[in-house]
Amino acid sequence: MDYLLLALLAGLAAVERKGFLQAMLSRPIALAPLTGLALGDLPGGLLLGPPLELLWLGAVNLGAALPPHETLGAAAVAGGAVLAGRALGSGVTPAVACLTLALVATLAVLGRSTDRLIEEWNVRLAARAEDLLEKGQLQAALRVNLRGLLLPFAASFALAPFAAALAALLVPAALRRFPGAAPPLAFGWAALSGFAAAAGARAFRSQRGLPLFLTALALSAAGARMLGMWR
C-alpha cells in the first residue's frame, strides 16, 4: 500500500511539474513533506524538503533545455528515507537521509533521459493529432493533447517506488551491519546541507551573488550562535 501511494504521488507530481499547472507542488519542498505525510512520517519529510529544494533550486525548464528530474529524485529520496527509517525504528535521521540520497539521487539524472524520450515520443502524438484533424475528427485530434500526460505519470509511477524499495532494503541493512557509521554519515548530511545552500544561492545568478551570500551566511550563522542554536 505504501509503495502504491508513493507511486501515485510521484506520478501525479511528474504531471504537475510540466504537463499541468506548475504550481510548485512537484518541487522537493512540497513533495518531500507530502511523501512523508502519505507514508506516515511528516517530520521526516520536513527534514528532507529544505535541503533537497535548495540543492535543486536551479532545476528549471528553460526553453527546450531539460534539467535533472528533481521531482523524481525528491520522491525517491523522501520515499526511500521514510521507509528505511521506519524499518530501523528510528524515523528519518541524518544518517538515513545521507545514505538514501547517496543511493538514489542519481534517479534525477535518469529522469532527465526519460523526459527526453517522452518528448521524442510526443512527436508521434503531434503527428497523430494532425492526421485526425485532416480526417475531420476535430475532438479526437484535440484529446490527443491530454494523452501526453500519461507517459510522465507512468515513468515516475514505476521508477520512484522501485528506487525507494532499493533504499528501504539496503539502507537499514547497512546501518545495522555498521552501527558506528551513523555519526560520520550525519556529518555527511551536514556537509550536503551546506553544499545545498551554496547550490541554491548560485541558482539565482545574482550579479552581487558572492558578497550577498557571504554576508548573509556570516550574519545568520553569527545570529544562530548568539541565539544559542549551536552548542
Interface with another protein in residues 196-225 (CB under 8 A): 196-210, 212-217, 220-221, 223-224
Q: How many CB atoms lie within 10 A of CB 19?
A: 17
The single residue among 131, 173, 178, 184 that binds another protein, judged by CB under 8 A, is: 184
Give whole-number Cα distances, 188 to 6, 56, 68, 102, in Å: 26, 18, 22, 10
Cell of 158: 514505476
Q: Which is nearer to another protein, 165 or 186 (CB)?
A: 186
Query: Smallest distance, Å, CB 100 to another protein?
Result: 11
Say if CB 142 and CB 129 are below 8 A apart. yes
Give residues 78-117 in contact with another protein (rule: CB under 8 A): 94, 98, 101-102, 105-106, 108-109
Query: Smallest distance, Å, CB 68 to another protein?
Result: 7
Query: Smallest distance, Å, CB 144 to another protein?
Result: 6
One character per residue 114-153, x = contact with another protein (rule: CB under 8 A):
-----xx-xx-xx--xx--x--x-x--xx-xxxxxx----
The single residue among 20, 40, 158, 178 that binds another protein, judged by CB under 8 A, is: 20
Cell of 148: 501526453
In the chain, the amino acid numbered 158 is A
Cell of 57: 533550486
Residue with cell 548560485: 202
Query: Smallest distance, Å, CB 131 to another protein?
Result: 11
Query: Smallest distance, Å, CB 161 to another protein?
Result: 21
Distance in Å from the first CA to the final CA of the chain: 42
Identify the three-state secondary structure at position 45. helix
The single residue among 33, 79, 85, 111 that binds another protein, judged by CB under 8 A, is: 33
Give residues 38-77 in contact with another protein (rule: CB under 8 A): 42, 46, 49-51, 53-55, 57-58, 60-64, 68
Q: Name, in order, each residue with C-beta under 8 angstroms of 187's C-beta and a sequence gap of 6 or more.
A: none
